[in-house]
Structure 1
Amino acid sequence: MQSNHLGHSMGRGCNHGRNWRFICPDHPSPQRSDLYHLHNVIHSTSNKVGDEHDDQFIIHTTDMLSGNWTDPIMLPFTPEINPSLLFDDNKVYLQLCKVGPKFQFFNFKIDIVIGKMLAEPDLIWNGWAGGFTEGPHVYKNDGWYYLSCAEGGTFRHHMLSMARSKSIWGPYESYDRNPLYSADGTDEYVQNTGHGDFFQNKHGEWWVVMLGVRMDEGRCIMGRESFLAAVKLASNEWPSINTVAARRDLQALPGQTAVLQFALPSTNSAAWVYLRDPVLEDYRIQDRQVTMRARPAGLDSIEQVVSFVGQRQRRLIGTAGVTLLRPKPSQTSKS
């Protein structure tokens, strides 16, 4: 199964007077975003790593493919991370993880349009394993509120745990067979699995998408990827997740030759990866050649515009090459 990169929700240069540090050397943690669809509006929650604390925000769009998102609506909840939404009976609830020294989950009732808190936050769960507990999600099914989370860190002990309650506010009962899913201690190809998010398709079937890595001889050259697994959830029961699997032979897709010949996409295509907010006028693409303006700031610069463009690795085995062409000296320059 192949997926398509549709676009970016943040990347229009809006920072609201803040230092948005989505990618920087001294804060390597990736940003986690969730999408929610309600009444033809798509809502995305996320948090960014800042100088002093993490900021939470919500953005909206009516067309995810357009790339047109609202400016961030800042949420007045700090220093929490991993915001998640639940739409329930015309009410909107926000779950957050309070970090260090003890990880805890809090529930809020909010106005999603302006980001205002409508009810005082309440502690709903401390997690199951008690270590690096984060990434809460609440789902409602057959009168139960299921609360899932990631625990154990993001490496080999990564896991997905769960609790449930008859009320959004708790108390939540931990699943007596936690962790709900983990590849820790197994010889499965996909390891470090966790940070799962459940959803139902149009047929009412349950699925979970979670992070993991393809571990081969102690290496995972593709880094963290998103994996999909089927879920069984009978009435009044706990979910059961099928083993997360992936192919090992992704050298080429059917119909493709060993040597890939392709036209380069435009500069604003989702295929390109930039550092910070790019100045697209610095890049010119023609046929298979990229001309880039060199900025004085180095790649470790946090606030200044830097010169960098790349593409993600999409094959387990392959060779990629780039020919660097030096600009020709101007006719007026001296030899």
Structure 2
Amino acid sequence: MIVNPVLKGFNADPSFCRVGEDYYLAVSTFEWYPGVRIHHSRDLVNWTLVSMPLDRAGLLDMRGNPDSCGIWAPCLSHDGDKFWLVYTDVKRLDGAFKDAHNYITTCEAVDGRWSDPWYVNSSGFDPSLFHDDDGRKWFVNQQWNHRGPGTGGNPAHASFDGILLQEWSPETGLTGPVKNIYPGTDRGLTEAPHLFKRNGYYYLTTAEGGTGYKHAVTMARSRDIWGPYEDHPQKHLMCAEDSDGPIQRTGHGQYVETHWGEHYHSFLMGRPIPGPDGGRFCPLGREAGLEKVVWKDDWLWLEHGGLVAREQVPAPTDATPVPDAAVDYDFTGPLSLDFQWPRTPETDRIFRLEDGALVLTGRESLGSFFEQALVARRQEHFTYAAETELDFAPETYQQAAGLTTYYNRGKFHAALVSHEPGLGRALTMLSCPGDWPEYRLTQPADPVPLAEGPVALKVTVDRHRQQFHYRQGDGDWAPFGPELDASVISDEGGRGEHASFTGAFVGMVAMDTSGRGREARFTRFGYDPT
């Protein structure tokens, strides 16, 4: 069986692409660098991360981008000759404007060096590229109306001003007329357009209802690419609203016909669990799933009927999911693709691999929009333990390095080796339990003096509970500070799901707000879901 989610943890907006017998899912990365993550499979059951294509300043520089901006909704396609990747770099979230710039890059091999980008337009976000059977290429994207009544993190429907279509080529760029071809349904918040063609119809799928529990995949069709487009008989192909199953927030995906003649559709999803206040939260962010679909009367329907995606879906082969296992990173080779960092393409300024260590150069704070020395991996499980060991000699409280559970600049917990007046080198704790309105910083634990030498740090997370630990030498692990609220590190923490829609990370950080660039050496990092 295909077990959903097929990509656990923060893997939103899955663009689904087939090339022969190879299948790819490309997902959003928002403010995390490198941009876009492309996963590969041959059985739709097990997926391997094979490429992060936006890996240099010429393709992407997000320094200054607000949280939950950056790379929204990439679209990966193949025209029979090479891969094409369409992506948006969003420069603003709050207020009436979005400032969303759309680009295209291409590569013959999915894990090769992608071309310098073509700039396309900035009229809205969630662009995609459709390769018609006559060789023409068409660019579609959501149009953003800054004059609409919606502002802030949850715009009203009027700001989502339909889907634009225009012809594009690498030689001439956008050419010919541009037309708003689809206004969306009454669910509103219409975005994420994808076009495909079958049996003489052009099909348009979109995402509607926002990033929360009203999210949906909407479908429409037309005999002419310019429209008019008629809505699906039930409007939506998928929607989990008003259902009580473990899979919620389904929407934003793409259709693929397999090489053996069956049909699947990707979708994003959330798995909410109970929080400490009795509400629900999604610590793993928006994940990626697959559902089997069938054709009837030239419309797609979920194979099992209805609108709600399943946890287990029939797979094409007898492949079984590879079980999750603990991962240990020793930094003796290249940095694992599991790791990302916020915003900056100038990696030499924030980290290097040296003599079996990941050396972080302390830069700006955990609250910075620009340059954070924070190297982290996704939280992929409701319960896990992560640990690291570092050697760090701070000279001031402005220098700190350690282990953090991190969602964004305003939602994190961190156990840090720092320097405290009167104590010297000490273990300290910083926490930012909500990103609105004050970005308030708290210190939930008193500093603990440290002896000389390396310090091992560990965090254990059990759903909405989190506990830091530390040890030196051969000593036992000792708890550090109180049990913390891990539900902060989620979409629903702080301002909530419509203002935060990425996912939780755990990783290593070094900051030096004195500007002296104090270095911290991390010799290992482990993540254990077992």
Q: TM-score range by the shorter chain?
A: 0.7 to 0.9
Please name the residue that 1:80 is paired with. Answer: 124
In the other structure, the counterpart of 2:240 is: 183
Alpha-carbon deviation of 1:306? 2.9
Aligned to 2:73: 32
1:62 aligns with one of 93, 108, 126: 108
Equivalent pair of 1:74/1:115 in contact (CA under 8 Å) = no
Cross-structure match for 1:166:
223
Pick which of 174-183 and 314-323 moved more: 314-323
In structure 2, the CA distance between the partners of 1:39 and 1:129, relative to structure 1 (3 Å rule), is same
Q: Could you list the per-position Cα deviations for residues 13-44 of structure 1 after superposition, in whole angstroms to 9, with x for gaps in the alignment?
A: 216xxx94378435546521111111331000
**Cα pair 1:61 1:69 within 8 Å, conserved:** yes
Identity %: 23
Distance 1:267 1:69, change over 3 A: same
Query: Which one of 197, 206, 222 corresponds to residue 149 of structure 1?
Result: 206
4+ long deviations beyond 6 Å: none
Instruction: Give unmatched runs, 5+ long, in structure 2.
Output: 1-44, 93-97, 149-157, 275-279, 313-320, 396-530
Query: What is the letter of the counterpart of residue 139 of structure 1?
Result: F
Q: What is the TM-score when the length of structure 2 is the normalising length?
A: 0.55
Aligned match of 2:175: 118
Whole-angstrom distance in 2 between the partners of 1:127 and 1:200: 25
User: Whole-Å Cα distance in 2 between the matches of residues 315 and 110 of structure 1?
Assistant: 41
Q: 1:315 aligns with which of 381, 389, 406?
A: 381
Give SS of 1:2's match: coil
Aligned residue type for 2:353: R
8 A Cα contact 2:238 2:309, kept in partner? no
Distance 1:237 1:138 in 2: 15
In the alignment, the residues of structure 1 paired with residue 122 and residue 235 of structure 2 have an alpha-carbon distance, to the nearest angstrom, of 29
The residue number in structure 1 matching 2:190 is 133
Q: Answer yes or no: is the 8 Å Cα contact 2:267–2:290 preserved in 1.
A: yes
Deviation of the 1:79 alpha carbon = 2.2
Match of 1:294 among 336, 346, 362: 362
Partner SS state of residue 87, structure 2: strand
Per-residue CA deviations over 1:179-224 (Å, capped at 9, x if unaligned) read 2210110012110010111111212322111111112222222111
Q: Give the Cα separation in 2 of the matches to 1:197 and 1:188.
A: 22
CA drift of 1:104 comes to 0.5
- The question of whether the paired residues in 1 share the 8 Å contact of 2:251 and 2:269 is answered with yes
Contact 1:146–1:162 (8 Å) recurs in 2: yes
Contact 1:73 1:114 survives alignment (8 Å):
no
By how many angstroms is 1:50 displaced? 2.4
Deviation at 1:279, TM superposition (A): 1.7
For structure 1, the 5+ residue unaligned runs are: 330-335
TM-score for the superposition, normalised by structure 1: 0.84
**Residue equivalent to 1:71:** 116
- SS at 2:384 equivalent: coil
Partner of 2:337: 270
Change (3 A) 1:108 1:214: same
Asked if structure 1 preserves the Cα contact closer than 8 Å seen for 2:62 and 2:70, the reply is: no
Q: Paired residues, what number? A: 313
* Correspondence for 1:283: 352
Secondary structure at 1:168 match in 2: coil
Q: Find the partner of 1:93 among 138, 143, 153.
A: 138
Tell me the residue number matched to 1:232: 294
The C-alpha deviation readout for 1:250-274, integer Å capped at 9, x for no partner, is xx96494xx6545447445321111
- Match of 2:282? 220
If asked which structure has higher relative contact order (CA below 8 Å, sep 6+), I would say 2
